[in-house]
Amino acid sequence: MLSTALRRLHDLALVWTRPREPEALPARFHRRRVYVLPTRFGLFYAVLLLVMLLGALNYNNNPALLLGLLLGGAGLASLVAAQLQLTGLAVVAIEAEPVAAGTDLLLRVHAHADDGRRRRGLAVGLEPSPSREAVLNLEQGRGEAGLPLPTVERGWLDLPRLKVSTTRPLGLARAWSYAWSQAPLLVYPRPEADGPPLPSGSGDRVQSRLHPSGDDVHHLRSYRRGDSRRAIAWKPSARRDTLLVREYEQPLGADIVLDWHGLGPLPYEARISRLARWVDEAERDGRRYRMALPGQPPIGPDQGPVHRHACLRALALMPHG
């Protein structure tokens, strides 16, 4: 019951904190965007200090009174110091490489401070449940933190509020501020766990690649660590007094066509998952492939990271069926 009430109070407080809506980065933390409250230890410290001062006044103990005032001043100074840890800080970019749905997205949070002073031990988390936190340290005014973000479905992922907080220098107070980026991040579709192999290639263009277990001998090359002993050409190696390996040419077939309409009665989302799996398999095998999706011009044929991203992006942004 108490935890539920605290959660509702926390959600209500988020409505009134800045920023109240997503914003363009960089997000700069000025004094009106930095919030400061005592920690549990800070509250205990305040109660203990109050008891000490009451005792000193009751017994007219001037050294104890002086000590209490000094400790109270240190506590107030820690509130200001905690706020200064965040004031002037700017979150300049939040980026991540796309991953398949169901995999954690690794957010890279880039921060900058114009004054260039060292800021260490800043905690970075995501609201409303910052259970996972990363540590942000700024050296010479710049720093970066990596933060995992769970993903559920393909498409654009809107970022939640990013919370940057600190309890330094004494742990008596917690200062925090928020950054809320309006730029979404891309999540690839989840590949099919198990399915049929790649379709056979079609077209006139035939490729080949070098492989130790191919069909036709291509040439001899120097031995490299990890090569199979079966591929070693012993007689040429003996003549040249160095290990040589036979390298073969293995035909790969023509370009592969990944056609949406060629998947028959497969359900909508299952088609997307199968095509995503075939894209990864084609890249792993070094095959050229072309993707044909409804309502879009064909993508490719090509291969490589740029082509893979273009295909998976098109699949991720397909309308939800």
For 118-143, the pLDDT digits (tens) are 889 999 999 876 668 899 999 888 99
Confidence of residue 6 (pLDDT cuts 50, 70, 90): low
Dihedral sign from CA coordinates of 245, 249, 250, 252: positive
What is the mean pLDDT of the segment spanning 297-307?
Answer: 90
Give the model's pLDDT for residue 246: 79
Check whether 183 has a pLDDT greater than 50. Answer: yes
Give the model's pLDDT for residue 1: 60
Give the model's pLDDT for residue 158: 93
Check whether 58 has a pLDDT greater than 80. Answer: yes
- Angle among Cα 123, 141, 24 to the nearest 5 degrees reads 70
φ/ψ (deg, to 5) at 255: -60, 145
Give the model's pLDDT for residue 207: 45
For 6-15, the CB contacts below 8 A with 24+ separation are 10/128, 11/128, 14/127, 14/128, 14/161
Confidence of residue 267 (pLDDT cuts 50, 70, 90): very high
Check whether 213 has a pLDDT greater than 70. Answer: no
22 three-class SS: coil
Give the model's pLDDT for residue 136: 93
For the entire predicted model, the pTM comes to 0.75
Percent of the chain scored above 90 by pLDDT?
55
Check whether 225 has a pLDDT greater than 80. Answer: no
237 three-class SS: helix
111 three-class SS: strand
Helix axes 40-58, 62-86, angle to 10 degrees: 160
Percent of the chain scored above 70 by pLDDT?
84
